[in-house]
A and B are shown apart, each in its own frame.
Chain A
Amino acid sequence: MRLSLLLMTLGGTVAQTSVVQTLSVGGATPDLPFVVTVFLALRRGPEAGCVAGFLAGLLQDVTGGGLVGVQALTKAVAGFALGLAGGRLRVGSPLVQVPGLVLLTVGEGLLRFGLLQLFHYPAGLSALMADVILPQALYNGILGAACLVAVGLAEAARARMTWR
């Protein structure tokens, strides 16, 4: 279980730095490690979400060349919060997942921006929101929901196979 968590986190992060550019739509790219974090948080609870978010964010910080710890912190908090909320909310429907992921990404972005303000990050929030956070949030919402639907279908198929 821990190994799969590690592999998923690592895989998502490496994919983010290697192949995600080709998924760019109008300059917007998804945040795959974040989607993985959300997925793990929803599936395995706040601890898994927190650890996954921390690892994914840490790797992104290291490979991205920025301040190490920013994304680790924001993703860990987001993963934890979602893991907690996921147990109380009904998040199985794509109608919830898409806006939920969008809001989560926006929240994580705002958190990151707030944290970076402590370190005198130069960019303004409005430009960051318009050019980075919102497009990425939309992309994440669609991609994450698609992933969850695909996983749900795969699990349903596996369950049918088991019944037979």
Chain B
Amino acid sequence: MRFRRYALLMSVVLVCLLLLTIQTRGGGMGRAADVVSILTTPVQALLTKAHRGALALWAGYREWKSAWSENLVLRAENERLRVGSLQVREAQTENARLRRLLALRERLPLSTLAGEVIGRESGGWARALTVNRGLGDGITTQTPVIVPDGLVGRVVRVRPGASVVQLVNDPASTVGAVVHRTRAAGLVEGEPGGAIRFKFMARDGVGIIPGDLIVTSGQGQVFPKGLPVGRVVRVEDKGSALFHFAVLAPVADFARVEEVLLLTGETPVDLVALFRKDG
């Protein structure tokens, strides 16, 4: 066994030395090498091809993975930027609203208190806002609430830190009003659907046309005179009925009101001129 082992080694060594000797003596190994090459070349080529394919696959996977993770990062960044942009836009919008409110506050010849809307009730049975001003701020019931566009409503309930404002389009709301152009008097009433209408006596309302501005009349000692309430959209002719109605578009967008002014003082002045069309 051991002899066989060493015999094998010796044979191999001899063969190698023989090969080397043949080569160095000028004998050619070219043909044998060619035969080996013919046998190994296809396998080499196949292996190289498979290897290249595997490398390409791996590279593709790495690229896909890289793109995927990059995509995740970019998405997160995009989301962050979008949130940032929204925050900036929100701040700009709020800034513009507050500027308008401040400008109105400075123009008004009566004491006011700014309030922020902290709650809404718009179920149909009642339409109201809750503002963060209450008993501690000297707010009382019937305090008129406005925005730069016009009337929002009146305070109907006062709590220690908040007040509930009945909106003009609340079904239980009535506001004494006049047509600004003709001074025809009537009442602005809320409807369950959320619209508002101007109820007026037929004989007084002749000449009311769409686009007419309806403002508070100042009678009743609740609202100052001249607060814009709405604009006539259409007049409903009830024929010989005593009262006719005009459907109004509210000047204030109740759904978007976020800051309001509570009118804590009184004034005999007609305020309509202070409400510019652009607020």
Contacts and interface: CB of A to CB of B under 8 A. Distances in A.
A17 B20 contact: no
**Prevailing SS type, chain B contact patch:** helix
Interface stretch (A68-76, A123-131, A132-140): A68-76
* Interface residue range, chain B: 20 to 34
A69 B24 CA distance: 11
Contacts of A80: 5, 8-9, 12
A25 B15 CA distance: 35
Interface in A108-122: 115, 119
A50 interface: yes
Nearest to B20: A69
Interface string A35-67: 000000000001100110010001100110001
B172 interface: no
Contact of A76 (B5, B9, B36): B9
B269 interface: no
Question: Nearest 5 pairs between A and B by C-beta?
Answer: A69-B19, A73-B16, A69-B16, A62-B36, A69-B20
Interface of B: 4-5, 8-9, 12-13, 15-20, 23-24, 29, 32-33, 36-37, 40, 43-45, 47-48, 51, 55
A63 B43 CA distance: 12
Contacts of B45: 18
B23 A76 contact: no
A18 B44 contact: yes
17 contacts: A10-B43, A18-B45, A19-B47, A22-B51, A22-B55, A50-B9, A54-B15, A59-B40, A62-B32, A68-B23, A68-B29, A68-B33, A69-B17, A72-B12, A76-B13, A76-B16, A119-B20
A73 B47 contact: no
Given A17-B40, A22-B55, 5 more contacts: A62-B40, A63-B40, A69-B15, A69-B18, A69-B19
B49 to A, nearest CB: 9
A70 B4 CA distance: 23
**Prevailing SS type, chain A contact patch:** helix
Contacts of A63: 36-37, 40, 44
Given A68-B29, A119-B24, A73 B12 contact: yes
Contacts of B47: 14-15, 18-19
Contacts of B29: 68
B16 A72 contact: yes
A45 to B, nearest CB: 8
A108 B15 CA distance: 18
A16 to B, nearest CB: 10
A50 B36 contact: no
